[in-house]
Amino acid sequence: MGLNAQTAVPTFTASQVLTAAQQNQINTGIPVFATTTTRDAAFGGSNKTLAQGQYCYIEASSQLQVYTGSAWQSVGTGLTYITQATPTAVASVSINNCFTSTFANYLLLIDMTAAVGDGVITARLRSGGTDSNTNYVGQRLIGQATTVAATANPSGTDDAYFSTIQATTASSYALSSNIYSPALARGTVFNTFAGSNDGAGSVIQFVWNNHTTASAYDGITVFTSGTSFTGTIRVYGYQNS
Amino acid sequence: MADKLELDAQTGIAVERDFTPEELEQRKQDLAKQAEIAAAIAAQNKLKEETIAKLGLTIEELKALLS
């Protein structure tokens, strides 16, 4: 039985003098720390000894974590919310520091509410606030009504193609992209699915992109070649185990 | 209306700003590239329609012949 294992959930009466043992017993709540650094400094020494079953909450990453006895692991259902951007009538959105080595793979969701100008939605990985604009390859499969078409590198090789978008039907646009290993020193793969009610009918697009540069990136920029877009971009991390 | 929204996921700070000169230059290149791609696709579609018209078939009839 570890130090955090309880044998009772006690109640106390008014004016009762609590012993140190009793205080320690109830000192198993979920402490909140700013970062993993302040978390690590808070245990040991004159503080509580870190032991299996200890939970904590990290403000910087919005993560609930548990100590297994040898390491801290995130607690959740497999998907951890990272952040969201809510652009209003802008031509591009950069999200910095959303990719870390904590997660190998990420989910990006784009939910449009409006757009000005028809265009193409593309993305670039970024590091230290600078976009990477080389070494993208891709393949698109697009279906509209009874027509299916395939295109290689539909936006060239300087960005990752996501989809087309039409201003008049932007509110029906939704995109999800599974992004593999953006923060690892290897190539990054985007598997993207987008759909919308286009001018000529409903359209769906499946796109695979590979950024072949073997570098770690900490962010992403999403662009429209139209005038602007409005909506929400959310980033989640898939837990590794 | 700003050109760009930049969000830091760690601090939660979001800033709306105009493009830097470098970003503006990249934007111009991107728009030129997309216009070039759109023109190429339009030309390809036009050629396809003209070919079908020369054959005197509808798209459905051509699909049936090719299937």
Contacts of residue A87, Cβ cutoff 8 Å, sequence gap at least 6: A93, A229, A230, A231, A233, B5
Rounded to a whole number, what is the distance in Å from the CA of B11 to chain A's nearest CA? 7
Average pLDDT, chain A: 91
Mutate one of B6, B16, B28 to test the A interface: name it (highest A CB count within 10 A): B6
**Predicted pLDDT of residue A2:** 67
Q: Is residue B1 part of a domain?
A: no
Domain count, chain B: 1
Is the dihedral angle over the CA atoms A87, A101, A176, A133 positive or is it negative? positive
**Predicted pLDDT of residue A172:** 93
Mutate one of A63, A82, A93 to test the B interface: name it (highest B CB count within 10 A): A93
**Predicted pLDDT of residue A63:** 81
Contact B45/A at CB under 8 A: no
With an 8 Å Cβ cutoff, are A155 and B2 in contact? no
With an 8 Å Cβ cutoff, are A96 and B2 in contact? no
Name every chain B residue with its beta carbon within 8 A of the beta carbon of A122.
30
Query: What is the total residue count of chain A?
Result: 241
Instruction: For A92, name the nearest residue in chain B, comparing CA atoms only.
Output: B4
Q: Per the structure block, which two tokens stand in for B50?
A: 């003209």
With an 8 Å Cβ cutoff, are A131 and B26 in contact? yes
Name every chain A residue with its beta carbon within 8 A of the beta carbon of B16.
88, 90
Q: Is residue B57 part of a domain?
A: yes
Residue A225: pLDDT band by 50, 70, 90 thresholds?
very high
Residue B58: pLDDT band by 50, 70, 90 thresholds?
confident
**How many residue contacts between A and B have a Cβ separation below 8 Å?**
71
In whole angstroms, give the CA distance from residue A229 to residue A170: 8
Respond yes or no on whether ipTM tops 0.85.
no
**Predicted pLDDT of residue A200:** 76
Q: Is residue B44 part of a domain?
A: yes
> Is A83 exposed, middle or buried (CB count within 10 Å of its CB: 0-12, 13-18, 19+)?
buried
Is residue B22's pLDDT more than 70?
yes
Q: Is residue B10 part of a domain?
A: no
Residue A4: pLDDT band by 50, 70, 90 thresholds?
low
Q: Which of B4, B19, B30 is the closest to A225 by Cβ?
A: B30
Is residue A6's pLDDT more than 70?
no
Other C-beta atoms lying within 10 Å of the C-beta of residue A30:
11
Across the range A103-130, mean pLDDT stands at 96
**Predicted pLDDT of residue B59:** 74
Q: Is residue B4 part of a domain?
A: no
Residue A99: pLDDT band by 50, 70, 90 thresholds?
very high
Rounded to a whole number, what is the distance in Å from the CA of B8 to chain A's nearest CA? 5
Q: Is residue B14 part of a domain?
A: no
Contact A121/B at CB under 8 A: no
Q: Is residue B26 part of a domain?
A: yes
With an 8 Å Cβ cutoff, are A228 and B6 in contact? no
Beta bridge partners of A174: A111, A195
Domains and CATH numbers, chain A: 20-74 (no CATH), 79-238 (2.60.120)
The share of chain B scoring above pLDDT 90, in percent, equals: 49
With an 8 Å Cβ cutoff, are B10 and A95 in contact? no
Name every chain B residue with its beta carbon within 8 A of the beta carbon of A225.
30-31, 34
Domain that holds residue B62: 21-66
